A and B are shown apart, each in its own frame.
Chain A
Amino acid sequence: MFYDMSDINIVDAPPGIEGSGFFATSLDKVIGLARSHSLWPLPFATSCCGIEFMATMGSHYDFGRFGSERLSFSPRQADLLMVMGTIAKKMSPVLKQVYLQMAEPRWVMAVGACASSGGIFDTYSVLQGIDEIIPVDVYVPGCPPRPEAILDGFVKIQELVKNESGRRRNSEQYKQMLASYGID
């Protein structure tokens, strides 16, 4: 059977100057465009939010549409750390180590109430939000969030990736932010 190729969507080119035989734009925009549609997420799933993520990865919600078909279970190759579920204080050094093992540029998404704030587990043994130990780019609310909410959070990560300056990770401000988490 013949498929009409016009159904396939292609992302728009970034703003730039176009002429006969050339297209000029900034390197940041080109790299951001490419990166944002090939993010490799590391799913750090500890509880029910992880189950919602499994649904998000399934054929119905099809996370692969956003260029994240390939999950990375090695932090060395991952771009995006997705923390989904309750993080006990005993788990926090493990989570921090996973973050440290990721190469720059790296992004972090806190999925669900527990990862964002401790959720209902307001108790001595549970970390009250992963931003106590690592920086977070996007928070997804919900207990647990529906797959649509996880996808919405992911699209917001993509926007951050697209619009990030190529020099951001070398900036003094960024280093200070990492230093505030005890990361040098």
Chain B
Amino acid sequence: MEADTNNDLITLLSTRFGSKISGVNEPYGLLTFETTKDVIIDVLRFLKEDEGTAFNFLTDITAVHYPERNHIAVVYHLHNMAARVRIRVKVFIHEQNPAIPTATVLWNSANWMERETYDFFGVKFEGHPDLRRILNMDELNVYPMLKQYPLEDPNRVDKKDEYFGR
């Protein structure tokens, strides 16, 4: 069976994974759903390899920090190039222990995407072959996109209020 619409896709996923698929939404027509970290690799493998879904291309992996909910959402963007369909998968994990299995078992391109997500959000991708910082300097001791850290550099001295008569 080939999934023509977002509804068909959700039916396929729900048949296979049942209550592990939740939070289905379609902002701007982009099908989005949530799942859990224990089945995320199975879900991604199904989306990639099942004939009905065939999301062969991993567009991006990133994360969002929700400090008020104490959670980090890991976000996967997939693309079915043949059918020109895109899908977004979110997994909410706790910010105290942000660990999730690696997607490098499915896509080699996940390697650098997961390193970047680790670099900025501190998400530990379990089983990743080489999980270390990729963009920030190695000495950085924080994960700068977590919202408890200030965006501005504390060494900056020329923005003090006294210079502006405040």
Contact = CB atoms under 8 A, between A and B. Distances in A.
Interface string B58-69: 000000000000
A128 B155 contact: yes
B136 A122 contact: no
Nearest to B155: A128
User: Which of B142, B149, B153 has most A Cβ within 10 Å?
Assistant: B153
Given A90-B136, A90-B137, A122 B152 contact: yes
Contact of B151 (A90, A117, A124, A128): A124
Contacts of B157: 128
Interface in A133-148: none
B152 A125 contact: no
A123 B156 CA distance: 9
B159 interface: yes
B144 A117 contact: no
A132 interface: yes
Interface in B142-166: 142, 144, 149-153, 155-159
A119 to B, nearest CB: 10
Contacts of A117: 156, 158
A118 interface: yes
A122 B152 CA distance: 5
A89 interface: yes
Contacts of B142: 124
B151 A123 contact: yes
Interface in A111-165: 117-118, 122-126, 128, 132
A118 B151 contact: no
A89 B152 contact: no
25 contacts: A89-B136, A89-B137, A89-B140, A90-B135, A90-B136, A90-B137, A92-B137, A118-B153, A118-B156, A122-B152, A122-B153, A122-B156, A122-B159, A123-B153, A124-B142, A124-B151, A124-B152, A125-B135, A125-B136, A125-B144, A126-B153, A128-B153, A128-B155, A128-B157, A132-B155
